Structure 1
Amino acid sequence: MMILRFRRTLGPAAAVILAAVSASTALAQTAPANASALSTGSTAPVSSVATAQSGTPTQSLSGRTIDKVATIAARARDIFNRVPCLPPKGVSQSVGSLPHVAAKLAANKPVVIVAFGSSSTQGYGATSPEFNYPNRLAAQLHRKYPAAAITVLNRGKGGEDAPEMIKRLRTEVIDAKPDMVIWQVGTNAVLRNLDPASTAKTVEDGVATIQASGADLVLIDPQYAPAVNARGESAGRMVGLLNRVAHYRHVGIFPRFEVMRDWHDRQSLPFDTFVTKDGLHMNDWGYACFAQLLGDNIIKSVDQVQAGASLPAAATVNRPL
């Protein structure tokens, strides 16, 4: 069984929850005893029933944990039954070529992915850390590559944008020696009235640093949400400039802005279907669908690379607005 290593946001119960979401049979198997067990790969047996000294079976703490896991796993499976997650039409979601990740998976070597960004990477708006996008993505990759050792590190920090992120790029991203970096950036720059061109230049510098480390890279542009749309001109410039950076630096970009606009405009989903009451952050369904679509494209890219298909090195989705 693959061991998913989640640092900083996941505790023992969360690790078991993701295993349950990935495969229902995991409930009858073993689960990590603590967070360090996830890091080292060690596991401890979990029993759902303990026998009291009187000989009467009573439910143990681990048993209650499994019950909770089953409930949360059922909720995770049910989320798309209520509102299906449909791929957008007419919006390219290609994340470009991911040769480093593909090579590591093909060689059965551990893969480290860093999710870098602000509050929508950290998971603000999700009802539980298990439902933020990095953990949703990790569970999906677990299902697709059950024999792989994939570590997903959540390096999201609320309120930040490129100027703050670039200061911790070395210590929190590069030093983790990632095989892939998913960098969500630009939303707070719009909300804080930062110059889009200056932000894009900072992002380009960060992209160059990440590329020099040898990691694959995918940029994530701002979300389409009322708080961002209220600054439509700035948001449009930011989306366009990030696409230019991706094209110029030959890295992938996932068009979150256009994907979410498709949810609202074409699929006629009210904003409260995928955005919290603050008009900015995604809710559980929003994170789940975003992670699903992103994961689908990562898997497709990896499969194509491993099959020897030629993928475009540069992303050209979302022409500058």
Structure 2
Amino acid sequence: MSSLRPLWLSTSLSASAAALLLLLTPASQTPALAQAAQAAPAPAQAANPAPASPSQTTVAATSPTEQRGIAARAIDKVKQVAKSAGDIFARVPCLAPKVGSKTMGSLPHVAGKLVAGKPVVIVAFGSSSTAGYGASSPDFNYPNRLAAQLRRKYPTADITVINAGIGGEDAPEMMKRLQKEVIDVHPDLVIWQVGTNAVLRNLDPGDTAKMVEDGITRIQAAGDADVVLVDPQYSPQVTQRAESASKMVKLLGKVAELRHVGIFPRFEVMRDWHEKQAIPVESFVIADGLHMNDWGYACFAQLLGDDIIRSVGQIKLGVNVPADVRTYRPM
């Protein structure tokens, strides 16, 4: 689900420039730019143009020098976006909630693999905010941000983060692909983002919670994998359905407690950004009032990564955490 997309095209660009920019643009940006290219006015044509004589013919194509200039400007723009997202916390720091948050050794399987130097597979399972809608580039969705953070921390580790997010889905659709895209991959950690589309579609929160519980049971029965649920985001389209959103958040929390898995309380974390840290909603949510932007995804990934890193540190220190104490709260 996501984004304010930087529209680099203007109606003054030629058709060849628009096509070039589309080729240079990441996949997640192509729809917006394609619309912009289509919106550009086409050259006026006569209904029955008369054949031009050789002396009247002009060369409309841009010269190689002009084409190189267009390509260079497009590449520079891509680099600017990358730099902007790369130093994003220099402008607005990513601070976790302080009230009511605590850290626990909630991810023993993935942490144990990292300590042992074994390959680690993480599946990010969910809808559009897992796929990365709203990010300016696929590099800046939360699964890729998380992978980059863990690889920086553990440069010799073999870490794979699989993005299994499909926009518009919720528990009913996700359950149909749970076996193939999650269980059959044999992950060490499953991060399951769910519930937002159920709220938007007015689905019964109780039905959603039951399906999620059944899914976790299947994951746990199939092997040793940590599971972290991610509840709905705090954003205008969700908060205007306050009653349903509140029920969904509470029920997912109960499922996590019942199945002894982690939960990332995204709704409360994002509300803290706005209400306690005084960050405007538009600073972490795009113009559609629903999806996160680069900063939102980056901070979300940072908090998830921090908890995995803390779990590794606890195991290295020999801290034994009871198997039934896995409630996940980011610091």
Please state which band the TM-score falls in when normalised by the shorter chain. Answer: 0.7 to 0.9
| Deviation for aligned residue 1:71 | 5.0
Aligned residues: 259
Give the alignment of 1:7-26 within 5 angstroms: none
3-state SS of 1:240 partner: helix
Structure of greater relative contact order (alpha carbons < 8 Å, 6+ residues apart): 2
CA distance in 2, matches of 1:317, 1:173: 21
Q: In the alignment, does 2:119 pair up with 1:128?
A: no
TM (normalized to structure 2)?
A: 0.73
From 185, 192, 202, give the equivalent of 2:211: 202
From 224, 227, 237, give the equivalent of 1:217: 227
| Deviation for aligned residue 1:306 | 2.9
3-state SS of 2:190 partner: strand
Match of residue 183 from structure 1 = 192
CA distance in 2, matches of 1:171, 1:186: 21
Match of residue 288 from structure 1 = 298
TM (normalized to structure 1)?
A: 0.75
3-state SS of 2:87 partner: helix
Give the alignment of 1:217-296 within 5 angstroms: 217-296=227-306
Question: Any conservation in 1 of the 2:106–2:328 contact (CA below 8 Å)?
Answer: no
Match of residue 193 from structure 1 = 202
Match of residue 298 from structure 1 = 308
Question: Any conservation in 1 of the 2:126–2:164 contact (CA below 8 Å)?
Answer: yes
Q: In the alignment, does 2:135 pair up with 1:141?
A: no
Task: Summarize the Cα distance change of 1:96–1:211 in structure 2 as closer, same or farther, 3 Å threshold.
Answer: farther
Structure 1 gaps of 5+ residues are 1-12, 15-63
Q: In the alignment, does 2:322 pair up with 1:314?
A: no
CA distance in 2, matches of 1:296, 1:143: 12
3-state SS of 2:164 partner: strand
- Choose 1 or 2 for highest CA Rg: 2
Task: Summarize the Cα distance change of 1:275–1:114 in structure 2 as closer, same or farther, 3 Å threshold.
Answer: same
3-state SS of 1:151 partner: strand
Runs of 4+ off more than 6 Å:
64-70
Task: Summarize the Cα distance change of 1:69–1:192 in structure 2 as closer, same or farther, 3 Å threshold.
Answer: closer
| Deviation for aligned residue 1:105 | 1.4
Q: What is the alpha-carbon root mean square deviation over aligned residues?
A: 2.4
CA distance in 2, matches of 1:68, 1:141: 28
Which amino acid in 2 is paired with 1:191? Answer: L
Match of residue 169 from structure 2 = 160
Percent of pairs with identical residues: 69
| Deviation for aligned residue 1:211 | 1.1
Q: In the alignment, does 2:91 pair up with 1:108?
A: no
Task: Summarize the Cα distance change of 1:109–1:316 in structure 2 as closer, same or farther, 3 Å threshold.
Answer: closer
Question: Any conservation in 2 of the 1:92–1:317 contact (CA below 8 Å)?
Answer: no
Deviations 1:110-155 (A, max 9, x none): 1100000000000001011000000000000011111100011000
Deviations 1:286-312 (A, max 9, x none): 101111111111111222123221335
